[in-house]
Amino acid sequence: MSSVQQGVKKLFQKVIDVSSCDTQKAGMAPISFVRQVLAACLYPELLKGNCLPLDVRQRAQRLLGDCYGGSVGSYSPVKGMQLVCESIAEFIMRRDSGARSHPENIIISSGSQYCLLMVLHLMANGEGESKTGVLTPMPCSDTLPMVLNLSAVPYQLMEDRGWALDLDELHRALKNARGHCKPRAIYISNPGIPTGCVQDRKTMEEVIQFAAAKGLILLAEEVYQDSVYGQDKEFTSYRKVLQEMEKKYSETVESISFNSLSNACTGECGLRGGYMEATNLDPAVFEYLRDIQRTSSPPTTSQLALEAMVNPPSPGDPSYETYTREILHTRTTLSQNAQRACEFLNNLPGMKCQPAMAGIFLYPRLQLPPRIIEEAKVLGVKADVLYCQKLLEEEGVCLGAGCENGQEDQNYHIRLCVLASPATLDEVLARLCSFHLRLLDRFP
């Protein structure tokens, strides 16, 4: 039982949770355009007046026209609303400089993780040495181990190189999988979760060539594509790189990319919306994915928000200025917070943080005193978990422990979401600093 449950009074007034990707929980405001479109679709009476901008009302009318019965309360088509799939395909083509995207290759679901779950369910096969394996980055998203019900084949990202992906490490991981499982896919997170690493084109081409040579399906998680802020860094999708390569790759390598409403700028985690786009997938296999989806058609409200996310206001629209200002505020807050927090953490003794280039997390490494590690062993928990538990007890700050992200080596880490208001982040860093220095004093 914790001291809080025992009634012990604490110096802090509230608990601050910056352990997850839920940016609105951390205090960031939603995007007005998304919420206004949702409001008008949920309550069409708002379309009769002028309380909402004209482009919002026009968008809501279009979306309602694509709903069965003109109502968000009706079921949607199995793969998703046609208008939303078309908007997603148009977004992909704009993003990838015209590289063709087809609405029929897109499936919408209740979050990118559910999309991934469907794909993994389809791939699951065999037992023992023949069981399906998936090459999985370490560290990875904290939700991935729960979704990955197949044999994970871990490959370690290179922390000393800014969490870069190393081709030799992929070959090592594949070799180690022999006799344990049969790898059939490679999972990539770009930008990296929780590392914030942005892969360059050379690395992406090497991964595609590796997948082709080993007969692996490429699964590309690209949720934080909207939040690249590292100097001289930009997001390039795997499908764009693939389609610009030689035909022996562009027309044969099977890949599936994932995106979500939970990304940094939109941040609508609770609406549970995401989509996947398949490239070069066998039509019969893709149809089977749709058969899986038929057990649960995607929520209509999340599809409306997805459409607003991929098809934002254009210059000249009444909502354009407000939308642009809010997006810029989010990106500026994220970039400045990440830089400031990284510098702060690197000034703490026993802590080292690689600078994030994108995404919403920092993932610093802890050099913990031996007595803390021994205490964790006695308690039967990981040392980074014990660190986070003590921080929560003493300072009311909730961080994620590195072992939640698949880290099983002796390099301990913590996970910190930096997309919060600057005032909230200041308080988090101050409490973390106070706790960390006390801990080092107690256990020199």
List, by residue range, all CATH 3.40.640.10 domains of the chain.
70-310
DSSP string, 67-127: SGGG-TTSPPPTT--HHHHHHHHHHHHHHTTT----GGGEEEESSHHHHHHHHHHHH---S
| Between residues 2 and 297, the one the model is more confident about | 297
pLDDT at residue number 8: 62
Give the least confident one: 1-10, 102-111, 131-140, 209-218. 1-10
Residues in the chain: 444
Q: Which CATH architecture has domain 32-65?
A: Orthogonal Bundle (1.10)
- Give the C-alpha separation, 103 to 432, whole Å: 47
- Residue 152 sits at φ, ψ, to 5 deg, of -80, 130
Contacts of 335 (CB under 8 A, 6+ apart): 229
Range 70-310 classified under CATH 3.50.50.60: no
For the record, the structure tokens of 371 come out as 């007595």
Helix (H) or strand (E) holding 278: strand 274-279
On whether the CB atoms of residues 92 and 236 are closer than 8 A, the answer is: no
pLDDT at residue number 407: 72
Helices (H), 160-243: 167-176, 201-214, 238-243
Mean pLDDT of the region 348-369: 95
- Give the C-alpha separation, 76 to 152, whole Å: 34
* Nearest alpha-carbon partner for 422 in 32, 30, 28: 28
Confidence class of residue 387 from pLDDT cuts 50, 70 and 90?
very high
On whether the CB atoms of residues 134 and 184 are closer than 8 A, the answer is: yes
pLDDT tens for each residue of 298-330 = 899 999 999 999 999 999 999 999 999 999 999
* Nearest alpha-carbon partner for 439 in 402, 394, 397, 400: 394
Contacts of 244 (CB under 8 A, 6+ apart): 99, 250
DSSP string, 311-365: SPPPTTSTTHHHHHHHHHHHHHHHHHHHHHHHHHHHTSTTEE-PPPSBSSEE--E
Percentage of the chain exceeding pLDDT 90: 74
pLDDT tens for each residue of 224-241 = 999 999 989 999 999 999
Question: Could you identify the residue written with the tokens 């890949």?
Answer: 255
Expressed in angstroms, the distance from the first to the final Cα of the chain is 27
- Give the C-alpha separation, 154 to 134, whole Å: 8
List, by residue range, all CATH 1.10.287.1970 domains of the chain.
32-65
- Give the C-alpha separation, 273 to 112, whole Å: 7
pLDDT at residue number 146: 67
List, by residue range, all CATH 3.90.1150.10 domains of the chain.
331-442
Helix (H) or strand (E) holding 279: strand 274-279
pLDDT tens for each residue of 278-298 = 999 999 988 888 888 777 788
* Nearest alpha-carbon partner for 109 in 147, 59, 151, 154: 147
Mean pLDDT of the region 413-425: 94
* Summary mean pLDDT of the chain: 92
CATH number of 331-442: 3.90.1150.10
pLDDT at residue number 6: 58
| Between residues 231 and 430, the one the model is more confident about | 430
For the record, the structure tokens of 185 come out as 């896919």
With a cut of 70, say whether residue 3 has pLDDT above it. no
- Give the C-alpha separation, 251 to 238, whole Å: 14
With a cut of 60, say whether residue 5 has pLDDT above it. no
On whether the CB atoms of residues 195 and 163 are closer than 8 A, the answer is: yes
* Nearest alpha-carbon partner for 232 in 385, 358, 373, 378: 358
30 burial level (CB within 10 Å; 0-12, 13-18, 19+): middle
On whether the CB atoms of residues 227 and 237 are closer than 8 A, the answer is: no
Confidence class of residue 218 from pLDDT cuts 50, 70 and 90?
very high
Distances (CA, A) of 340 to 312, 337, 346, 379: 30, 5, 10, 35
Question: Could you identify the residue written with the tokens 């400089």?
Answer: 97
pLDDT tens for each residue of 31-53 = 999 999 999 999 999 999 899 99
441 burial level (CB within 10 Å; 0-12, 13-18, 19+): exposed
- Give the C-alpha separation, 37 to 268, whole Å: 14
pLDDT at residue number 12: 82
pLDDT at residue number 229: 94
Task: Find residue 132's DSSP bridge partners.
Answer: 182
pLDDT at residue number 142: 79
Question: In 382-409, which positions are buried (b, 16+ CB within 10 angstroms) versus exposed (e)?
Answer: bbbbbbbbbbbebbbbbbbbbbbbbbee
For the record, the structure tokens of 74 come out as 């009706």
pLDDT tens for each residue of 41-96 = 999 999 998 999 999 999 999 999 999 999 999 998 887 899 999 999 999 999 99
